[in-house]
Amino acid sequence: MTSETITAAASGTWRLGDLTVRRMGFGAMRLTGSGPFDLGTPSDRDRVLGVLRRAVELGVNHIDTAAFYFSSLRSANELINRALGPYPDDLVITTKVGPGRDASGDWSWAAPEQLRGQVEENLRQLGRDCLDVVNLRVKGGGSIAEHFGALAELRRAGLIRHLGVSNVSAAQLAEARAVAPVVCVQNRYGVDSRRAGSDGLLRLCGEAGIAFVPFFAIAGAGKEAGAGPVENPVVTAVAEAHGATAAQVRLAWTLRQGPHVLAIPGTGNPDHLLANLAAGALRLTDQECAALDALGDDPEQPNRSSRRE
């Protein structure tokens, strides 16, 4: 596939409620600096604005962001607003609430009555009157009914179109669905970074028509810090067989998990953007997927994926 033929369309589509998105989306976490929550060196503004515009030109219409994605002089939401406003009619922007950061970078978690302020801040930064999708990011295994109920009230008030949940168990998903419709679940999930019960939750979402949106599909256990320098040999072998990169294999495997699975790889590098989108057209064999499936999650092993910006 040449750069002239790479588009997000090759990954197929899914629906978030009444909104149709291409399954290969874009995550905004890495737009703001050398690290996603780095208050030191900011990103190259013109470069990342160009990456956002190029992503949309190439068919991406699902962008994942959050008001707490900011670094020194950079806010992911405001970069999105600057690069893409006025927004294309089919562009779906998903954001998250629950966690918050102050100007010094210190974290806090919102009480239910504080969620409205977080929603309004996302509206302001993105320049929107209504947010397409808001995920409640969950901390721990307790009840989420009160927090999700607060977001359901904001949905009824017209500030939010659709609701999702992030970092949840099957029980928490069931609790949320008893309060209001859920269009997506955003959990950590990758070739070799699957938590106990993740496969079952992924299948449950598919049966219910809910999108499953893995984060850290490339970074794996490296999480916000990014992937490690040494690749898993099974991933490397599959990549070599296809003339692809390890990151592309990881994304292709992610999409292979079901038609309801969406990918949101993020980068501030235009070359990596093209490589990520090209992964939407990479088709792995059943044998290759079985070998990758077998990697599972071993907490004693370091993350093996290759470093990506």
DSSP H helices in 22-64: 45-57
pLDDT of residue 213: 97
CA neighbor of 66 nearest in space, from 45, 94, 87, 39:
94
E-assigned strand segments in 203-275: 211-212
Say if residue 2's pLDDT is above 90: no
d(CA 185, CA 7): 25
Topology classification of domain 8-293: TIM Barrel (3.20.20)
Give the sign of the dihedral formed by CA 183, CA 185, CA 238, CA 219. Answer: positive
Say if residue 281's pLDDT is above 90: yes
Say if residue 225's pLDDT is above 70: no
d(CA 179, CA 195): 26
Cβ count within 10 A of residue 250: 32
d(CA 177, CA 232): 37
pLDDT tens track for 166-223: 999 999 999 999 999 999 999 999 998 787 789 999 999 999 999 999 997 886 454 4
Reported as a pLDDT band with limits 50, 70 and 90, residue 161 is very high
d(CA 287, CA 128): 46
pLDDT tens track for 98-110: 999 998 889 999 9
Q: Most distant CA pair in the chain: distance in Å?
A: 53
CA neighbor of 36 nearest in space, from 231, 267, 263, 193:
267
pLDDT of residue 298: 41
For the chain, the average pLDDT equals 90
Bridge-based pairing of strands 70-71 and 74-75 is: antiparallel
Cβ count within 10 A of residue 4: 6
Q: SS3 letters for 97-146?
A: ECEEECCCCCEEECCHHHHHHHHHHHHHHHCCCCEEEEEEECCCCCCCHH
pLDDT of residue 197: 82
Mean pLDDT in residue range 132-149: 97
Say if residue 136's pLDDT is above 80: yes
DSSP state at residue 280 = G
DSSP state at residue 40 = S
Say if residue 303's pLDDT is above 50: no
Structural domain spans, the chain? 8-293
pLDDT tens track for 55-105: 999 999 999 999 999 988 899 999 999 999 999 999 999 999 999 999 888
E-assigned strand segments in 110-265: 131-137, 160-166, 184-186, 211-212
> 70: helix, coil or strand?
strand
CB 262 within 8 A of CB 14: yes
pLDDT of residue 4: 63
pLDDT of residue 228: 55
d(CA 236, CA 230): 10
CB 51 within 8 A of CB 269: yes
**Token pair for 33:** 């600096």
How many alpha carbons lie under 13 Å from residue 244 in its C-beta half-sphere? 26
CB 16 within 8 A of CB 205: no
Bridge-based pairing of strands 160-166 and 131-137 is: parallel
Q: Which residues are catalytic?
A: 69
pLDDT of residue 219: 60
CB 187 within 8 A of CB 166: yes
Query: Does pTM top 0.85 for this prediction?
Result: yes
